[in-house]
Amino acid sequence: MTSAKTGNYRKIALASVTGAIGLLYIGIFAGVDVSPTPAGFGTDIPAMTPKEIAATKKKPVYRRGPEVVALNQYFKSIGYSFGSMTEVPRVYIKRVPKGLGELALVEERKELFLRIMLPLAMRVNEEIGARRERLMAIQAKGISGTPVSAKDQQWVNQQMKRYRVTDGGITALLERIDVIPTSLILAQSAEESGWGTSRFVRQGNALFGQWAWGDDEGIVPKGREEGKTHVIKAFGSLMDSVRAYARNINSHPAYQSLRERRAALRADGQMITGWELAETLTKYSERGAEYVDSLHAIMSVNDLNELDGLTFAVGDVPPPPKVLAALEE
């Protein structure tokens, strides 16, 4: 081989080495993989499906409505929670806050609804209890021979009409003017209103789905059969809805068995529980026994029976913030 040819080969070899070093340099510092791809391993990544693309997107931030936030903060500020509660503040909320149904956390939605309902149920029972005590005092006067005033007699007559008592006098009236366990009120309000999220609650504070007749008195149910005129009765506040429910339970013929069971428990000196009275409500819903099972499940899962013995806290409660003015009873 001549020296000229040898020189040319050396130049070619040097250029090859220089090129290889250059490619290696680019691969290291530019992030390019210049190594050969092993057989059987493709470099093309298949396109993601729409579902996979959606899964990689950032989930939206969980937000709460301003009324929900304000109500939760207010309850917290007055120490009102279900954790270790022994007394209940006298806080009467007029309507459910906007955004209650949009809460993503089911437990948060349920607890907020129960905290709204608990003081209302207790207040209605307090009113019934005061009415019952007055009636018993009038009855005691009659038994002792003490004359009953015209004012008291007029009041008794009003109650007889209000509770649909036609005979039996005060004794029959006492069977109807009696408290309804808080656990039962809460369980039925949750079942009937979808934990405060139904259209009837949002539009008319209708917690228990009570019927009325005449479109001007309530909310027309969707899918109402042609020729039917019933509506769901609307109320000015949640408290009014609970009052109407209690009156219905204590006066309607369909719930006579509940009143008889309650009177029997009271006569035997036993505790009147929502669990036991719920067993008599097969006529409250077309679902019959299944409806009773639903009430029992709500009571059990949410420990509602523990709320029956609670009392109101003594003293005034700080006023709620202005944002809750529309919610205050």
Mean pLDDT of the chain: 83
Please tell me whether the overall predicted TM-score, pTM, comes out greater than 0.85 for this model. no
Is residue 250 one of the residues assigned to a domain? yes
Is residue 61 one of the residues assigned to a domain? no
Averaged pLDDT, 203-231: 81
What is the domain range of residue 299?
A: 66-308+323-327
Which pLDDT score is estimated for 51?
60
Written as six digits, the tokens of 260 are: 């008889």
3-29 in b/e burial notation, b at 16+ Cβ within 10 A? eeeeeeeeeeeeeeeeeeeeeeeeeee
pLDDT in tens, 129-183: 999 999 999 999 999 999 999 999 999 999 999 999 999 999 999 999 999 999 9
Q: Please give the Cα distance from 10 to 188 (Å, whole number).
A: 97
Is residue 152 one of the residues assigned to a domain? yes
Domain count, the chain: 1
pLDDT in tens, 9-61: 444 444 444 544 444 344 434 444 444 444 443 444 456 666 655 555 555 44
Q: Please give the Cα distance from 58 to 157 (Å, whole number).
A: 67
Residue 306 is which amino acid? E
pLDDT band at 191 (very low <50, low <70, confident <90, very high): very high
Is residue 38 one of the residues assigned to a domain? no
Is residue 296 one of the residues assigned to a domain? yes
Cα angle 112, 202, 277; round to 5: 60
Look at 6 and 135; give whichever has higher pLDDT: 135
**Residue 55, helix vs strand vs coil:** helix
| CATH number, position 279 | 1.10.530.10
Residue 97 CB partners (closer than 8 Å, separation 6+) = 65, 67, 68, 70, 71, 112, 324, 327
Is residue 131 one of the residues assigned to a domain? yes
Written as six digits, the tokens of 132 are: 């019952």
Is residue 28 one of the residues assigned to a domain? no
Is residue 55 one of the residues assigned to a domain? no
DSSP state of 220: P
Distances (CA, A) of 302 to 70, 110, 186: 24, 9, 10
**Residue 218, helix vs strand vs coil:** strand
Q: Please give the Cα distance from 140 to 105 (Å, whole number).
A: 52
Which pLDDT score is estimated for 4?
45
Which pLDDT score is estimated for 37?
44
